[in-house]
A = this chain, B = another copy of it.
Amino acid sequence: MNLKELSQNLGLSQTTVSRALNGYPEVSPATRARVEQAAKAFNYRPSTRAKGLATGKALAIGHVIPVSTKHEMVNPIFGDFIAGAGETYGRHGYEMILSIVADEEEEQIYRGLKSRRAVDGVIVHGPRMNDPRIKLLHDLGLPFAVHGRASGTTLPYSWLDVNNRSAFSRATTFLFDLGHRQIALINGLEVMDFAHRRREGYTAALLDKGLPVNPAMMRSGEMTEVFGYRSAADMLDSALPPTAILCASLISALGVRRAIEERGLRMGHDVSVITHDDALSYLQNGGDVPIFTATRSSVRQAGRKLAEMLLDAIANSHQDLQTHLFEAELMVGQSTGPAPTKD
């Protein structure tokens, strides 16, 4: 069923039917009701493509998901973020189009989305230090919003981020206050902006408390369980093992716990652990009482909100950029306790 058929069926012109369906005022309430009823009866929906052609809008937002060629990793937070953004799109009649892309093809994909007029805007995932995508999108004139930030970029842009710096600084201080002096950091890949900021927060807190920043106490890598395990095992076996570990993801934290327990130590007693928790639906941090003490911020909520920001910017085509900084919660669980007293 298309507009033409529907309007013939109703004995009206396409114009009138279109207007009735799109809420224009030049249609009598009676006619509108009749049209709406018929549309429902025939399950009529305007063709996305035709509507897009006519209006010049795509009614779609692009998400370009980088999959690093080196690691073949899909960021595990991606599913929940997308779910959040999807909720927003659904409410606004937008579609989400997804491109899975190897690092080196990214630029071509963005150019393609623009020149094919396939989307009205894009969400940038996984911003890195000095991320070139910001300038690219800026130059292309394609509206965009970034999940995270890109340190080192001078151009202004819309973003939504967790205050990673403050979260990790607070976590470090929390451990210091419990008496810990050997505090390790098992971080994500530090080309990623979020990981960079977390390290900043960590080192700033150490320095603030007069503790040395010891490279031997810092690891950086793709946040897998095995990476958490190996990093923790390595450091726990060293001459001066950490009494506390700060960890960038719940998945790595599971590996950290494995390393701790494998050594006959007890987490929260012999070794304290704080992890960042993205509140992923399939990776809950325990039940009522969290297993891990964690800096927590829902990535799904971030998806919802960032999508709203972008749609808002597109709808109002205002150039004043929006930014939003979520403050992570520091939730105390069972994985932290006072530093063990030496005896």
Contact = CB atoms under 8 A, between A and B. Distances in A.
Contacts of A89: 100
A192 interface: no
A79 B280 CA distance: 13
A282 B96 contact: no
B98 A96 contact: yes
Given A44-B115, A117-B48, A261-B261, A74 B79 contact: yes
Nearest to A86: B100
Interface size band for A? 35 or more
A86 B111 contact: no
B100 A90 contact: yes
B118 A95 contact: yes
Contact of A75 (B230, B282, B283): B282
A343 interface: no
A287 B226 contact: yes
B117 A47 contact: yes
B100 A82 contact: yes
A99 B58 CA distance: 16
A46 interface: yes
A1 interface: yes
B100 A87 contact: yes
Q: Copies of this chain, how many? A: 2
A226 B71 contact: no
B67 A58 contact: no
Interface string A18-44: 000000000000000000000000011
A281 B73 contact: yes
A47 B282 contact: no
Interface string A87-103: 10110000111111100
Interface stretch (A238-246, A251-259, A324-332): A251-259
A228 to B, nearest CB: 11
A225 B99 CA distance: 30
Interface string A289-308: 00000000000000000000
A58 B65 contact: no
Given A65-B83, A82-B98, A96-B99, 13 more contacts: A45-B112, A46-B116, A49-B52, A49-B58, A73-B282, A75-B282, A76-B76, A95-B99, A96-B98, A224-B284, A225-B254, A225-B284, A261-B261
7 shortest A-B CB distances, which residue pairs? A86-B100, A49-B52, A45-B115, A74-B79, A76-B282, A45-B116, A49-B49
27 contacts: A1-B115, A43-B111, A43-B115, A44-B115, A45-B116, A48-B118, A49-B52, A60-B97, A73-B282, A74-B79, A74-B80, A74-B282, A75-B79, A76-B76, A76-B282, A79-B79, A82-B98, A86-B98, A90-B99, A95-B99, A96-B98, A96-B99, A96-B100, A97-B98, A98-B98, A223-B282, A254-B254
